Amino acid sequence: MYSIGLIYFLLILITSVCAGMLGAMAGLGGGILIVPFLTALLNVNVDYAIGASIIAVIATSSGSAYAYVKEKVSNIRIGTFLVLFTVPGAIIGAVIEGFTQPKYLFLVFGLVMFISIFAMYKKIKEKENLDPVVVDDKLADKLKLHSKYYDARLKREIKYKVQRVKEGSLVMFFAGIASGLLGIGSGAFNVLGLDMIMKLPIKVSTTTSNFMIGITAAASAGIYFLRGDVDPFIAAPVAIGVLIGAVGGARILLKINSNTVRVIFLAILFAMGVDMIIKGIGGI
Amino acid sequence: MNVNIKEEERIEAKVLSSFLKWSVIVSAMVITAGIVILITLCSTGYGSSNICLLLGQIKGTNVFPVSVLSVFSGILQEKSFAIIQLGILFLIASPFIRVLLQTGIYVKEKDKLFTLISTVVFIFLIVSIILPTLIKM
């Protein structure tokens, strides 16, 4: 039971526009914004909030991936290859969820996030190296993952070589497990793996992650829907809002500076880290 | 050889992006239609759970269709919640179709490795839907 009027409806819509916009730029689903907003401020049942958040992930992915795929910023081949690891990871995570102590897991992953924030922050301070030294990766050659994209901000084409595909795949597998286990999207870990391990340009990392999260989320969305966790009254404004936000966010990302993308991503990562540490300490 | 790859990637990007665009437009339109009907008719279409959005806060109940069949039967009766759920279902279905579409493109490109990869991804997706139901049973 919940009590909602037009104002609540509009509030959900506006928040979802923001979540969609940020999610589209940072390569994640925006659940970190939507779930606390719905549960803490609007008193929505947590199951419905998570159900709506899963729909938000798919909407972010489809809404932004359209522009990213068209402009060839997201690397479809990398995305498709890595989904091969996130989806089974998510399945395993969901299956073992019942046997684990989420309290400690939240602490561990929260800590991982804070370590990543420091590592990535160092990258912001360094001057962007557009033509970095690369280590050859045979698997990346075989899968033809190397590519290039046109950076509208720098007004030049940026070529990149994908590195450490095996290690990246392993990270994606654990990203999937974390996602299934903790009920969070895999987007944040995807971006970390793509950026820090596989050394993709940050815009390619977040947009490729965007391409991936829709597929990973769709795997669980069907289950949530059939279970009755997708309440149309909440999911409708969330879906519409996120779609509008994601389409807009995608347009912005193409034009802004790479470091701005990193700052947005880090801000969201910080919020997620704090959220997870609190959950870990609280033992929810 | 190099030129061919570029051409293929271009087609892949074009087909996928137009699919993404249309899937977003269709789901957004269906959901919006459901919202408009909800507002104008003041009815979710499901029993006592009438919500008059324009009249401020009115209690809603959590009665809504949760199976594909009930969504379709609700649409035939022009129930606003059923129409919204159809739009949501379109949204959920689009990544599945996206992967199938990719598989088709890779088959056409004769890219055996990625045909295999995208097929396995699709199988994983199906497994992820079926598995939880099996475990519960």
Residues 6+ away with beta carbon under 8 Å from A36: A275
Query: Within a 13 Å sphere around the CA of A213, how many CA atoms are in the beta-carbon half?
Result: 37
Total CB pairs under 8 A between chain A and B: 174
What's the average model confidence in pLDDT over B25-38? 93
What's the average model confidence in pLDDT over B44-54? 59
What is the predicted pLDDT for the residue at A3?
Answer: 46
Say yes or no for a CB contact (<8 Å) between A239 and B31: yes
pLDDT exceeding 90 applies to what percent of chain B? 41
Amino acid in position A283 = G
What is the predicted pLDDT for the residue at A1?
Answer: 37
What is the predicted pLDDT for the residue at A122?
Answer: 77
Averaged over successive runs of 10 residues, the pLDDT of chain A (284 residues) comes to: 65 93 89 84 84 92 91 91 92 77 78 82 69 72 83 84 90 88 82 90 92 88 85 92 95 89 90 85 68
Q: Does position B58 have pLDDT exceeding 50, yes or no? A: no
How near does any CA of chain B get to the CA of A99, in Å? 14
Assessment of whether the complete model's pTM goes beyond 0.80: yes
Q: Does position B100 have pLDDT exceeding 90, yes or no? A: yes
What is the predicted pLDDT for the residue at B47?
Answer: 61
Residues of B in contact with A48 (CB under 8 A): 62
Query: Taking a C-beta distance cutoff of 8 angstroms, is the pair A80, B114 a contact?
Result: yes
How distant, in Å, are the alpha carbons of A41, A47, A169, B45 from that of A2? 12, 13, 42, 17
Query: Taking a C-beta distance cutoff of 8 angstroms, is the pair B44, B79 a contact?
Result: yes
ipTM > 0.90 (yes/no): no
Query: Taking a C-beta distance cutoff of 8 angstroms, is the pair A130, A63 a contact?
Result: no
Q: Does position B53 have pLDDT exceeding 60, yes or no? A: no
What is the predicted pLDDT for the residue at A29?
Answer: 84
Q: Which of A39, A37, A105, A70 is nearest to A241 (CA)?
A: A37
Phi, psi dihedral angles at A227 (to 5 degrees): -75, -15
What is the predicted pLDDT for the residue at A75?
Answer: 92
How near does any CA of chain A get to the CA of B127, in Å? 9
What is the predicted pLDDT for the residue at B27?
Answer: 96
Say yes or no for a CB contact (<8 Å) between A219 and B125: yes
Does residue A78 belong to the interface with chain B, where contact is any CB pair within 8 Å? no
What is the predicted pLDDT for the residue at A163?
Answer: 86
Say yes or no for a CB contact (<8 Å) between B91 and A62: yes
Amino acid in position A205 = S
Query: Taking a C-beta distance cutoff of 8 angstroms, is the pair A76, B12 a contact?
Result: yes
What is the predicted pLDDT for the residue at A39?
Answer: 84
The mean-pLDDT minimum among A41-55, B54-68, B76-90, B120-134 falls in: B54-68
How near does any CA of chain A get to the CA of B112, in Å? 11
Confidence of residue B56 (pLDDT cuts 50, 70, 90): very low
Name the closest residue on chain A to residue B49, using Cα atoms: A1
Say yes or no for a CB contact (<8 Å) between A222 and B92: yes
Q: Which of A36, A33, A39 is nearest to A15 (CA)?
A: A33
What is the predicted pLDDT for the residue at A128?
Answer: 59
Confidence of residue B57 (pLDDT cuts 50, 70, 90): very low
What is the predicted pLDDT for the residue at B61?
Answer: 52
Between positions 98 and 127 of A, the ones with CB within 8 A of B are none
The neighbour count for residue A143, using CB atoms within 10 Å, is 18
